[in-house]
Structure 1
Amino acid sequence: MSAPERYLQNEDFFLGYTTEFTGTVTVSPPLNAHEIAYLRKFACTRRMMRTRGPYFADGSGSFGQGNDPDIIDFNRPPQGQPGLWCQWVPTGDGAGIEWDEDEKFYDAEEWMRYLIDHFLRPGAHAQRHAEFEKFTFNHTVDGEIYAQGEDPEDQWILYVTDNTVTTRS
Structure 2
Amino acid sequence: MTLESRFIGCIRIQPALNDAECDFLLDVLDSDGTLRGTPTGRGDQDVPFARLAWEPCPEGCCLQWNPSLEDPKWMVESLRFVVDHLLRPGAKGEGHPRLAGFTFDHRASGVVVGRGLGDRTTRLLTAEANEVTGAVVPTPCEEVSATHQPARSHGGRFDNVIEFRPRRA
Superposition TM-score, scaled by structure 2 size: 0.67
2:93 match: secondary structure: helix
In the alignment, which of 107, 110, 113 is matched to residue 143 of structure 1? 110
CA RMSD of aligned residues (A): 2.7
Query: Which consecutive unaligned segments of at least 5 residues does structure 2 have?
Result: 138-169
AA paired with 2:48? P
AA paired with 1:38? F
AA paired with 2:61? A
Q: Are the aligned partners of 1:19 and 1:103 in contact in 2 as well (CA < 8 Å)?
A: no
AA paired with 1:112? L
AA paired with 2:55? V
Partner of 2:151: none
1:82 match: secondary structure: coil
Moved over 4 A (4+): none
Q: Are the aligned partners of 1:47 and 1:83 in contact in 2 as well (CA < 8 Å)?
A: no
Whose RCO is larger (CA < 8 A, sep 6+)? Answer: 1
In the alignment, which of 51, 71, 77 is matched to residue 85 of structure 1? 51
Percent identical: 28
AA paired with 1:136? T
2:105 match: secondary structure: coil
Matched, 1:129 2:96: yes
Matched, 1:40 2:7: no
Shift of 1:28: 0.1
Q: Are the aligned partners of 1:47 and 1:78 in contact in 2 as well (CA < 8 Å)?
A: no
AA paired with 1:24? C
**Count of residue correspondences:** 130
Q: Are the aligned partners of 2:52 and 2:69 in contact in 1 as well (CA < 8 Å)?
A: no
Query: Which consecutive unaligned segments of at least 5 residues does structure 1 have?
Result: 1-17, 57-76
> Which has the larger Rg?
2
2:55 match: secondary structure: strand
